[in-house]
Amino acid sequence: MNARTLPLVATVLIFIVAYALCYLQFPAILSTRVVGNLLTDNAFLGIVAVGMTFVIISGGIDLSVGSVIAFSGVFIAVLLRDTGLGPWPIFALLLIITTLFGAAMGATIHFLQMPPFIVTLAGMFLARGMAYVLSIDSVPISDDTISALQRIYWLLPGKGRLTLVGGLMLIVVLVGIVVAHRTRFGTNIYALGGGAQTARLMGVPVARTTIQVYALSGFLAGLSGIVFAIYTSAGYSLATVGVELDAIAAVVIGGTLLTGGSGFVAGTLIGVLIMGLIQTYITFDGSLSSWWTKIAIGMLLLGFIVLQKALVWAGGRRAEAASGKG
Amino acid sequence: MLDPTPGRVPLLRAAAVSKSFPGTKALDGVDFTLRAGEVHALLGENGAGKSTLVKCLTGAYRRDGGEIQLDGVSIDPRDTLDAQRLGIGTVYQEVNLLTNLTVAENLFLGHQPTWLGLVSTRRMNRQARALTAQYGLDIDVTRSLGSYSVAIQQIVAIARAVRLSGKVLILDEPTASLDAHEVDVLFDAISGLKERGLGIVFISHFLDQVFRITDRITVLRNGKLVGTEDTVSLDRLRLVNMMLGRELAEETRRTGKSGMRYDAEPRLRFSGFGRRGRIAPFDLAIQRGEVVGMAGLLGSGRTETAEVLFGVYPHDSGTAAKEGRALSLGSTRAAVAAGFGFLPEDRKTDGIIGELSIRENIALALQARIGWARPLSAKRQRAMADDFIRRLDIRTSDAEKPVGQLSGGNQQKVMLARWLATNPEFLILDEPTRGIDVGAHAEIIRLIEELCEGGMSLLVISSELEELVVYSHRVIVVRDRAHVAELVGEDITTTRIVNAIAGTPDSAEAAA
Ligand SMILES: Nc1ncnc2c1ncn2[C@@H]1O[C@H](COP(=O)(O)OP(=O)(O)OP(=O)(O)O)[C@@H](O)[C@H]1O
Ligand SMILES: [Mg+2]
């Protein structure tokens, strides 16, 4: 087997085993109904995690996304309430804003040579602050189009429902996979994560790629915000605190190296689903505190980081043995 | 007066190119012309400005002044991509591509074959296979580049540059980690390109290779142009004098040193030492003040021996003894505690800390050895650094310069200084003169002799047999991951070493 795909395979295996264990205890968990809900409930996280995957593969991090989602919700709710604009122009406007916001962070990171951690941390406070400026209270959304979007679904065999937002997440993941593995932009992102200096000498447009990666993350955070607004029918500036960390966790569980240069969008989807599955299990059980989700995710994360270390180490050993220098 | 051939526009022409770094004038009004269909060597000592000139020509650095023309048209590449578009392909000295990408992706990065905007991976891999096959590589192009040896990575880097070079190919020390056969393959490729009318710039410290492949030679010294001459009109001595700006005495000694007194109890004795998959168990005893040379082809087990001795890969068989007493080894820590030092082959990745200054880098190893509880005074560090800068002739404006800003060869000297500062009893040097210019070369050979006279025991791995012959008391020959021969004293000659490496009996018998 290829050492590059090993983390992905490990993630898939863990997901299957975990699902099987849950199934033994609660057979109902295998129904399309539960699967449909899993996709719907985690749609916003999945979308934003795809963006995070690209950022992390490029060797960066984006801490602003949770705040951007909250900002998006408030932005949609307030504009729907206070202006005559319909939801579609508002969505378009929002996506432009969040994309530019991401691009601006990318430009700052590249041109001022600042660490992504600091720049996106500033972005996180900025976006959250802007949400507060728009409204401190939770603003309900009552719009016909949005309620209609909320009700769209495809009936799966077994009475499960694939909702619009769930489907949107799957589309984003598919597009993400294509971008990562089948476009020059995607390869450039991996190149950047492998070593920015080397990539520059090889002719990778480092500035453009960095800006595009954060712009993409901003765009997907905005899209995730739209999905979250549809899903909750409200905009609240205190919502989605810490979602950036959930996204990072999903990415790492999905087999992407935090050091950059290696990872899979498909793995991130599985990472999100594993986290959702734990949540579902706890709901089914009923007696467990929801904090167990956090504990389980924490342990999984630790396990994965250890696994990755072991793989990198074993891979290095094998390469050594295979090559042999003078 | 740039182009000596009247009536023909040179392919690439640089006029009065200058580039300064804080504290250094790396290039000072350098003129350089490259004709179509020639291989042009760019030579000079470490820090002469060769790599800097290459980077200015290819947009990796912005030059401070001067003009660059390609086919008679002024160009000003903003970055390396720009240069690639103009048809200039480059292998930079310190770059080994991206180890996290596949071989195919490395070859085609930025130029992947696409279909409707999507990379067609299958076509790319097929083309990559064809390309690597041309260089005699039979490798899986879909595996990550990092899973292959440095030599293979180097060939892939060259293959990429050749593919990108429509007009000009620049190779900055491309042969440093290649063995003789791989060099042949590379030179075949270069000859092919030459016939196609490309201009090729070739930088190397291997003068044999320079005389073998190049048509003209340009020499730089201290950032200034010394001159450009036809290769056939130059002999080795004059070339070296151009590079150094002074006369260099020819080495005379032909056979190894004799007269080593072999005590009953050597300083170090390794018995049945080895590690499965790396090096077969071997016996090795080293005296005080003895230099043991180690010869063998790339990949034969030379570096593996050193790494197992130093505990980079712990031994899984055998024992070690120091002055008759059992010595517990098995980690680099234990080795350092036992007074071992090891200058690895791949200095780029092993141990140099580019951000720290020369002084700090030198002080680091010594500080680690005496313990952090007793800090070295800044004054002492300074004195030590200045001493090594003088002794090893490290070219720098001062001791506080970050090591990352030194030229490749000078970084190597800093690494050597780091180990010397700890004053080890047993020092292992893996290719200490690779990438080092002629002047420093002689300097390092002198240093090796000086060290062993001071009582240090040395194990020196080198591909340069003439050099081994000069300083070794004994030469061990490695083949196929095992120690196969040992030559002592008067027996040490390059012919005998070559025969032992090749596994043929000595030429006298072979003739029969
Ligand atoms: N990025 C940098 N910052 C500061 N100084 C630099 C930098 N790069 C090179 N220099 C300095 O410029 C001079 C020329 O360096 P260059 O790398 O061109 O030498 P070189 O001829 O390639 O030597 P070598 O044979 O050792 O590779 C050296 O004095 C070096 O210290
Ligand atoms: Mg150089």
The answer to which of A214-218, B189-193, B462-466 has the lowest mean pLDDT is B462-466
Mean pLDDT comparison of A224-233, B41-50, B294-303, highest-scoring range: A224-233
Q: Please name which of A176, A182, A186, A183 lies closest in space to residue A268, comparing C-alpha atoms.
A: A176
- Rounded CA gap, B433 and B438, in Å? 9
pLDDT tens-place string over residues B63-118: 999 999 999 899 999 888 899 999 999 998 876 689 899 999 999 998 899 888 89
- Rounded CA gap, B478 and B487, in Å? 12
Ligand 1 contact, B51 CB (< 6 A): yes
- pLDDT value, residue A43: 96
Report which bound ligand comes closest to the CA of B219. Answer: 1
Distances (CA, A) of B277 to A323, B375, B400: 11, 41, 43
pLDDT of B349 strictly over 80:
no
Q: Using CB atoms within 10 A of its CB, is residue B461 exposed (0-12), middle (13-18) or buried (19+)?
A: buried
Question: Does A201 lie at the interface with B, CB-CB under 8 angstroms?
Answer: yes
CB contact under 8 Å between B149 and A191, yes or no, is no
Please work out, in degrees rounded to the nearest 5, the angle formed at the alpha carbon of residue A203 by the alpha carbons of A201 and A205.
Answer: 115
Percentage above 70 pLDDT, chain B: 90
Give the residue on B whose Cα is nearest the Cα of A189.
Answer: B101
Measuring from atom 22 of ligand 1, which residue has the nearest CA? B51
- Atom number in ligand 1 closest to CA B52: 18
Ligand 1 contact, B407 CB (< 6 A): yes
CB contact under 8 Å between B296 and A326, yes or no, is yes
Burial B301-340 (b: 16+ CB within 10 A, else e): bbbbbbbbbbbbbebeebebbbeeeebebeebebbbebbb
* Backbone φ, ψ for residue B250 (5° rounding): -70, 140
Mutate to test the pocket of ligand 1, among B91, B220, B405 (most ligand atoms within 8 A of CB): B405
Burial A22-37 (b: 16+ CB within 10 A, else e): beeeeeebeeeebbbb
pLDDT tens-place string over residues A15-29: 898 889 889 988 888
Structure-token pair, residue B406? 């030194």
> In which band, very low, low, confident or very high, does the pLDDT at B412 lie, cut at 50, 70 and 90?
confident
Structure-token pair, residue B241? 């004098």
Are A45 and A37 in contact by the 8 Å Cβ rule? The answer is no
pLDDT tens-place string over residues A61-102: 999 999 999 999 999 999 999 998 999 999 999 999 999 999
Question: Does A326 lie at the interface with B, CB-CB under 8 angstroms?
Answer: yes
Distance from Cα B47 to the centre of ligand 1, integer Å? 5
CB contact under 8 Å between B144 and A3, yes or no, is yes
Half-sphere exposure of B454 (CA within 13 A, CB side): 14
Percentage above 70 pLDDT, chain A: 94
Distance from CA of B247 to the nearest CA of A (A): 34
Are B239 and B219 in contact by the 8 Å Cβ rule? The answer is yes
CB contact under 8 Å between A194 and B110, yes or no, is no
pLDDT of A159 strictly over 50:
yes
Measuring from atom 7 of ligand 1, which residue has the nearest CA? B405
Report which bound ligand comes closest to the CA of B52. Answer: 1
* Backbone φ, ψ for residue B45 (5° rounding): -70, 175
DSSP B40: E
Mutate to test the pocket of ligand 1, among B27, B395, B407 (most ligand atoms within 8 A of CB): B407
If you average pLDDT over every residue of chain A, what do you get? 90
If you average pLDDT over every residue of chain B, what do you get? 84
- pLDDT value, residue B257: 61
pLDDT of B255 strictly over 60:
no
Are B160 and B168 in contact by the 8 Å Cβ rule? The answer is no
Percentage above 90 pLDDT, chain B: 29
- pLDDT value, residue B265: 78
Question: Does A86 lie at the interface with B, CB-CB under 8 angstroms?
Answer: no
Distance from Cα B210 to the centre of ligand 1, integer Å? 21
pLDDT tens-place string over residues B364-388: 877 776 777 778 888 888 888 888 8
Are A252 and A305 in contact by the 8 Å Cβ rule? The answer is yes
Question: Does B316 lie at the interface with A, CB-CB under 8 angstroms?
Answer: no
* A chain contacts of residue B481, beta-carbon cutoff 8 Å: 324
SS3 content of chain A, % helix, strand, coil (to 5): 75, 5, 20
- Rounded CA gap, A278 and A247, in Å? 15
- Rounded CA gap, A65 and A215, in Å? 11
Ligand 1 contact, B21 CB (< 6 A): yes
Structure-token pair, residue A263? 């990872």
Higher pLDDT, A316 or B510: A316
- Rounded CA gap, B26 and B45, in Å? 13
> In which band, very low, low, confident or very high, does the pLDDT at A3 lie, cut at 50, 70 and 90?
low
> In which band, very low, low, confident or very high, does the pLDDT at B160 lie, cut at 50, 70 and 90?
very high
Distance from CA of A196 to the nearest CA of B (A): 10
- pLDDT value, residue B104: 95
CB contact under 8 Å between A202 and B118, yes or no, is no
- pLDDT value, residue B261: 65
> In which band, very low, low, confident or very high, does the pLDDT at A325 lie, cut at 50, 70 and 90?
very low
- Rounded CA gap, B287 and B306, in Å? 17
Question: Does A112 lie at the interface with B, CB-CB under 8 angstroms?
Answer: no
Mean pLDDT of A284-306: 81
* Backbone φ, ψ for residue B423 (5° rounding): 50, 60
Report which bound ligand comes closest to the CA of B45. Answer: 1
φ/ψ bin of B146: left (φ > 0), alpha (ψ from -120 to 50), beta (otherwise): alpha
Residue among A182, A187, A319 whose CB faces B146 most closely:
A319
The answer to which of B148-162, B341-355, B436-450 has the lowest mean pLDDT is B341-355
The answer to which of A42-46, A190-194, B78-82, B350-354 has the lowest mean pLDDT is B350-354
The predicted model scores a pTM of 0.76
CB contact under 8 Å between B144 and A201, yes or no, is no
Ligand 1 contact, B48 CB (< 6 A): yes
Residue B32 neighbours by CB under 8 Å, 6+ apart: B12, B13, B14, B17, B42, B53, B218, B225, B228
Q: In chain A, which among 238-297 make CB contacts under 8 A with chain B? A: 261-262
* A chain contacts of residue B95, beta-carbon cutoff 8 Å: 198, 201-202
CB contact under 8 Å between B303 and A326, yes or no, is yes
Question: Does B297 lie at the interface with A, CB-CB under 8 angstroms?
Answer: yes
- pLDDT value, residue B251: 44
Is residue A7 within a helix (H) or strand (E), and if so which, with residue range? helix A6-25
- pLDDT value, residue A312: 62
Q: What is the identity of the amino acid at B56? A: C
Report which bound ligand comes closest to the CA of B22. Answer: 1
Distance from CA of A262 to the nearest CA of B (A): 7
Q: What is the identity of the amino acid at B304? A: E
Q: Please name which of B31, B37, B45 lies closest in space to residue B2, comparing C-alpha atoms.
A: B31
* B chain contacts of residue A319, beta-carbon cutoff 8 Å: 146-148
Ligand 1 contact, B381 CB (< 6 A): no
Report which bound ligand comes closest to the CA of B436. Answer: 1
- pLDDT value, residue A12: 87
- pLDDT value, residue B205: 78
ipTM of the prediction? 0.86
- pLDDT value, residue A1: 47
Question: Does A311 lie at the interface with B, CB-CB under 8 angstroms?
Answer: no
Question: Does A317 lie at the interface with B, CB-CB under 8 angstroms?
Answer: no
CB contact under 8 Å between B119 and A187, yes or no, is yes
Ligand 1 contact, B313 CB (< 6 A): no
CB contact under 8 Å between B98 and A182, yes or no, is no
Are B203 and B175 in contact by the 8 Å Cβ rule? The answer is no
- Rounded CA gap, B110 and B112, in Å? 6
- pLDDT value, residue B414: 85
Question: Does B376 lie at the interface with A, CB-CB under 8 angstroms?
Answer: no
Percentage above 90 pLDDT, chain A: 64
CB contact under 8 Å between B150 and A323, yes or no, is yes
Cβ neighbours around A68 below 10 Å, total: 36
- pLDDT value, residue B259: 60
* A chain contacts of residue B298, beta-carbon cutoff 8 Å: 325-326
